[in-house]
Amino acid sequence: MGGQASSPLFSEPWRTINWEDRQSDLQYVKDYKPQTDGQQLRILLHGPVGAGKSSFINSVQSLLRGRMYAQALVDNTSRGCFTKKYTTYKIPKDPETFYPFVFNDIMGLDPIKGVRVDDVKLALKGHMKEGYEFNPESSLSADYPFYNKHPTANDRVHVLVCVVPTNTISQMRKETVDKIRNIRMEASKLNIPQVAILTKIDEACPEIKNNLRNVYRSKYIKTKMEEFSANVGIPMNCIFPVKNYHEEINLNNEIDSLILSALRNIINFGDDCINMGNDSDSKEDPPDFSIETKPPYQKG
C-alpha cells in the first residue's frame, strides 16, 4: 500500500490515447479542409523564450512529410530569443498544394527583451504583415509598412497556442505569466480559442524518458498541467503534453501520436472559430472562450 502511494505513476492513465492507431489521427489531419474554398486556418504560437515553438512546427512538418524536416530555424545555444520576425510556415501537401492550415511563430515572451503584448494583439487581429521584425522597445504602429490596414479572414488568427516547457512552469516569472494572461484575455475578446502545448516532458520526468506512453500516467505531468491551468486559466482539456523531435534522426510513433493528438484538437478548435466567423449573421451566441479561473481537475 505504502509503495503504491509513493509511485510516480497512476495505475491507469487518466487520459486515453490510442498509441496503436497513429494512422487515423494522421489521416484526419491530412483530410482536413475548411468549409470555405480558399480559407486558411492560422495558428499563432507564443510562449517563453526557448519553449520549443519552432521545434513544434518542425515536428509537425516532419510527421506530415514522413521525414525529418527543419524549416523553422532552432537555436540550441539558449542565448535569448532566436525568432526575430513574424514568420508564416506553410506545409506542402504535394508538389502543387499546401495544407489549409499555417503556423505563425513570434518572438519569445521574455519579461524584458521579449515580444510586446500589443504586437501579439495586432497579430491576432491580422494587422501584422509577414516579415515584421519585432522590437522589444516599441510596438508596430498603423503608419508602419508592415501594418496591414485591411486584414482578411485568412490574415486573422483562428487558434492561439501557448507553448511552455514543462519543467519551468513553477519557475515562470510573474511578468511572463501576466503576459500570457493578457494575451489570452485579448484572444477571448476576439472569440479565438486557446490551447497550451507543454514541451520537454521527457526532460521533466524520468518515467516518460524511459517510456513516452507513461505521459498520462505520470503524476508529475498531471500536477504541472493543473498548475499551468490554474496560473493562466487554460482548461485542462485544452492542454497537451508533447515531445518535440530534437535529437532523433528517424520518426517515432509515440512522438507522432502525442503531436497528432494536439494537432487534431488545434485544428478542430480553429475550424470552430472559422465557422463561427462565417456564421456571424446568425442569431446564436458565439461559443465562450473566456478565461477559466479554476482548473477543471482538482488535486487530491
Residue 285 has pLDDT above 50, yes or no: no
pLDDT tens per residue across span 145-157: 999 999 999 999 9
Question: What's the whole-number mean pLDDT along residues 30-56?
Answer: 94
Tell me the residue range of the domain where 141 lies. Answer: 42-278
Number of residues written out for the chain: 300
289 within some domain? no
3 within some domain? no
pLDDT at 297: 38
d(CA 116, CA 221): 30
d(CA 63, CA 242): 13
16 within some domain? no
d(CA 7, CA 10): 7
d(CA 239, CA 262): 8
Give me the torsion for CA of 95, 66, 195, 182, rounded to 10°: -70
Q: How many CB atoms lie within 10 A of CB 134?
A: 22
152 within some domain? yes
d(CA 232, CA 178): 8
pLDDT-based confidence at 9, cuts 50/70/90? Answer: very high
DSSP 3-state percent helix, strand, coil across the chain (nearest 5): 35, 15, 50
pLDDT tens per residue across span 187-240: 999 999 999 999 999 999 999 999 999 999 999 999 999 999 999 999 999 999
Mean of per-residue pLDDT scores for the chain: 88
pLDDT at 284: 37
d(CA 264, CA 172): 28
In degrees rounded to 5, what are phi and psi of residue 218?
A: -75, 120
CATH number, domain with residue 104: 3.40.50.300
Pick the closest to residue 248 from 55, 68, 91 (CA basis).
Answer: 68
Specify the pTM: 0.88
pLDDT at 128: 96
pLDDT at 73: 63
Tell me the three cell numbers of residue 180: 500570457
**DSSP H or E segment with residue 57:** helix 53-65
pLDDT tens per residue across span 72-129: 666 544 444 456 889 999 999 988 999 999 999 998 888 778 889 999 999 999 999 9
Number of structural domains found in the chain = 1
